Amino acid sequence: MKTGITVILAAIVIALSMSVFFLKRDLSRAKTSEGFYQKRGDDLQNEIMLLRKINDDKDRTLREISESVAQLERKVELETLRRYVPKKTWDEVSPIIEKLKGIGEESN
């Protein structure tokens, strides 16, 4: 009977030892994964901050362009300007002015 109990206890000890071993291994893998995901999360957060800054810069530039077009329209009548600018020059400048007007209207 003592040998039976000893064998059962030995089997339980072996099973518990294996369980502890596998749990430690799983914990080690989880720590490794956690480190990887933490670094990836930090990288993504930095990338988001960079993209936000780029977007803010573009918005600021777009506002400046829009304001510049509005100031130009207030200060100079484009039709009046058209009469005094040579046709060749006006043909080159006109698409740029129209494009800037379109950008200004889109931002409003």
Q: Which uninterrupted H or E stretch holds 11?
A: helix 2-75
Question: pLDDT confidence of 42, banded at 50, 70, 90?
Answer: very high
Cβ distance 103 to 62 under 8 Å? yes
Q: Which residue has better confidence, 72 or 93?
A: 93
Our CA dihedral for 27, 30, 31, 37, rounded to 10 degrees, sits at -170
| pTM of the predicted model as reported, rounded to 2 decimal places | 0.52
Q: Which pLDDT score is estimated for 104?
A: 66
Question: pLDDT confidence of 22, banded at 50, 70, 90?
Answer: very high
Domain definitions of the chain by residue range: 2-107
Q: Which pLDDT score is estimated for 90?
A: 84
> Is residue 106 classed as helix, strand or coil in its secondary structure?
helix
Q: Which residue has better confidence, 108 or 65?
A: 65
Residues 6+ apart with CB under 8 A from 70: 104
Q: What is the C-alpha separation between 25 and 45, in angstroms, rounded? A: 30
Residues 61-90 have pLDDT tens digits of 888 887 887 787 777 777 777 788 888 888
| Placement of tokens 């100031």 in the chain | 71
What percentage of the chain has pLDDT greater than the value 90? 31
Tokens matching residue 62: 């777009």
DSSP state of 37: H
Neighbours of 76 (CB within 10 A): 11
